[in-house]
């Protein structure tokens, strides 16, 4: 299964190292994914979806299966707000939220949920 990720500060990029068994691709404007994929994204500003993620989803949202959010709990209600917005806008599940670079336990939860969704 393909795992697309967006990382501004490196937190998400560090986190995906825990998810060794997945084919990973970094979100960029012109990247096309022609198969089902999961998205891990950070939140920018005060709860906005990063611009590169918006552009990426314009061309790839039809293959989006679910989304995962990375954030900082210091932002209160804006914690993982981008992932929540994407889940709502594209009618896909938000399968997990983690703080900063996450933990191995977060990765296990995500891998388990992805496996469950793949099985249907």
What whole-number distance in Å separates Cα of residue 1 and Cα of residue 89? 22
Strands (E), 1-120: 2-5, 23-26, 37-41, 64-71, 94-99
- What confidence score (pLDDT) does residue 55 get? 95
- What confidence score (pLDDT) does residue 95 get? 96
Per-residue pLDDT of the chain (120 residues; tens, 9 = 90+): 799 999 988 889 899 988 988 999 999 878 999 999 999 999 998 889 999 999 999 999 999 999 999 998 888 888 999 999 999 999 999 999 999 999 999 999 999 999 898 886
Residue-level length of the chain: 120
Residue 76 structure tokens: 């209160």
Class of the CATH domain delimited by 2-119: alpha beta
pTM to 2 decimals?
Answer: 0.93
Report how far apart, in Å, the C-alpha atoms of 113 and of each of 25, 39, 76 are: 19, 13, 25
Which residue do the tokens 């404007």 mark? 29
């Amino acid at each position: 299964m393909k795992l697309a990720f967006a990382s501004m500060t490196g937190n998400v990029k560090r986190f995906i190292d825990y998810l060794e068994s997945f084919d990973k691709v970094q979100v960029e404007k012109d990247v096309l994914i022609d198969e089902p994929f999961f998205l891990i994204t950070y939140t920018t500003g005060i709860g906005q979806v990063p611009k590169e993620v918006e552009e990426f989803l314009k061309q790839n949202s039809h293959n989006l299966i679910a989304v995962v959010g990375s954030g900082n709990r210091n932002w209160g209600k804006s914690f993982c707000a981008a992932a929540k917005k994407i889940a709502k806008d594209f009618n896909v599940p938000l399968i997990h939220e983690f703080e900063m670079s996450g933990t191995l336990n977060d990765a296990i939860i995500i891998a388990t949920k992805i496996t469950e969704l793949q099985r249907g």
